[in-house]
Structure 1
């Protein structure tokens, strides 16, 4: 029998730990319809606009998008680099 916790319990523990991490509010300062923000060819589906917006917000503020989602492509946002995105769990 394995002693590993189910993935969903690990996700909850990570989110609880993040609640105690220092953070700063970022105002809604990015427009996805402004020319030059996105690379539309890298937005193939209906789920990507939210990911793209959050990544663009991180780029705009010089921060990092921390996510559990492995489907975020930095190519979606102009100026995004690997330093702007961090995936916590495989």
Structure 2
């Protein structure tokens, strides 16, 4: 039995890279969600727009993490 070390290293590198990307995306989502959820009164309209932008950014980051997790489950579960 031979082990293809190049393929093993490639799988390790890709999985490590995807893991880092998902962790960073989740952390950015949490940071954006915290920024959007501050209960300070908005002195002008731009602050409200910043909150909406932060909320949309958080949702997009969480959706990206969910899609990567769902794709991984789809690869693992047959059928």
Name the structure with the higher strand share. 1
Q: TM-score range by the shorter chain?
A: under 0.3
Structure number with greater Rg is: 2
User: Relative CO higher for 1 or 2, CA cutoff 8 Å, sep ≥ 6?
Assistant: 2
Q: If the length of structure 2 is used for normalisation, what is the TM-score?
A: 0.24
Where is the helix percentage greater, Structure 1 or Structure 2? 2
TM-score w.r.t. structure 1 length? Answer: 0.22
